[in-house]
Amino acid sequence: MSEKIIESNKRQLFPDFREVFRYKDLFFTLAWRDFRVRYAQTTIGLLWALLQPLITLLILSLVFGTFIAVKTPVPHLLFTLAGMSVWTYFSYVMTNAGSSIISSQNMIKKIYFPRIIIPFSKALVGLIDFGITLIMLIALMLYYGIAPTANVLFAPLFLLLGILAALGAGIWLSALTVRYRDFQHVVPFIVQIGLYLTPIAYPAEYATSHLPKWAATLYYLNPMAGIVQGFRWSLFGGEAPNEFLLITIITVVVLFVSSLLFFKRIEDEMADLV
């Protein structure tokens, strides 16, 4: 029999992953609840999930593809959809994970479980919408008769980077909003500017070729820049991930690891603060 000791002066740096694993059923149940609630409330719930990114996609394609006539290796609509799929996943997970602790405050005040499960579960829910966009993407590729390149083997790697980046940002925001409610208003802003500062509707060279080296480096500090570019490269080839990929990987790892550290620091006082 194990003895559990709660001490006031003992602080852990990282969440107890063994304990998190013990609560894996809660992780799945919370994800499943979000999914159920999302599609239970409205009869056309699935359609809502599609409609918003679909309209954004059409607008972006109209503006960048038709009005500005940005040159892309594959049809602009397909090019943008590939970028949008990863970006939408990122913004969904970041937004929902970011507000997840505040919106679960009733639970947090009444029962103990590793709090990190809450934002984690959002990463799983987001995959459902991502799956739907992926089906659309495949359909569009069939329509244009474009087969994925052999690079497609790298797609899961970029997806993994995307998940870590989204969780990193979401976990940071969720812990910050517990302390400072102001951060609730920051999230829509990040999503809005991120949509343009990420090479979704245009190839990344359009940005980097107009920028000095130091500014291009800054551009890639947005982890989604490298991830979107890499994900699209793994599907269509062309514009290969360049020397900036390292910046992306480092940023993602730093973002994710630091988010866990910060979350753990706030975790103990969450029930008192929310």
Partner 1 sequence: MMEGKYAIKVEKLSKRYTIGTKKADSFRQALGGIFRKKNNAKASFLAVDNLNFTINKGEVVGIIGKNGAGKSTLLKLLSQITKPTEGTIRINGRVASLLEVGTGFHPELTGRENIFLNGTILGMTRAEVSRKFDEIVAFSGVEKFIDTPVKHYSSGMYVRLAFSVAAHLEPEILIIDEVLAVGDAEFQQKCLGKMKSIAGEGRTVIFVSHNLAAVKELCQKGIVIEKGKLVFHGESSAAIQAYQSCHGSQSHYENKTVTTDKTAVKAIALCNQALQHCTEFTVNEPILIDIDLNIVSNSAEYAVFIQINDQFGSPVFAAEKQISNQKMTLEIAANFLTRGNYAISCYIHIPRLERIETLDNCCQFNVSDATSSLVIHGNYNYGPVFGNFKWH
Residue ranges binding partner 1 (CB under 8 A): 1, 3-8, 23, 25-26, 28-29, 33, 36-37, 40-41, 106-113, 179-183, 268-269, 271-273
Which DSSP letter does residue 220 get?
T
Nearer to partner 1, 115 or 232 (CB): 115
Give the integer Cα–Cα distance in Å for 273 and 83: 38
The closest of 216, 174, 207 to 70, measured between CA atoms, is 207
Q: Which is nearer to partner 1, 109 or 210 (CB)?
A: 109
Q: Shortest Cβ distance from residue 137 to partner 1 (Å)?
A: 31
* Max Cα–Cα distance, the chain, nearest Å: 69
Phi, psi of 12 (to 5 degrees): -95, 150
Q: How far is CA 36 from the centre of its chain?
A: 21
Read off φ and ψ for residue 212, nearest 5 degrees: -65, 165
Q: Looking at beta carbons only, is 43 or 209 nearer to partner 1?
A: 43
Please, what is the minimum distance in Å from the beta carbon of residue 227 to partner 1? 28
Smallest gap from residue 231 Cβ to partner 1 (A): 33
Shortest spacing between CB 264 and partner 1, in angstroms: 12
Return the structure tokens found at 206: 């359009």
Nearer to partner 1, 34 or 129 (CB): 34
Query: Looking at beta carbons only, is 2 or 209 nearer to partner 1?
Result: 2
Task: Give the Cα separation of 179 and 229 in Å (integer).
Answer: 34
Closest distance to partner 1 from the beta carbon of 260 (Å) = 18
Phi first, then psi: give them for residue 106, nearest 5 degrees. -60, -40
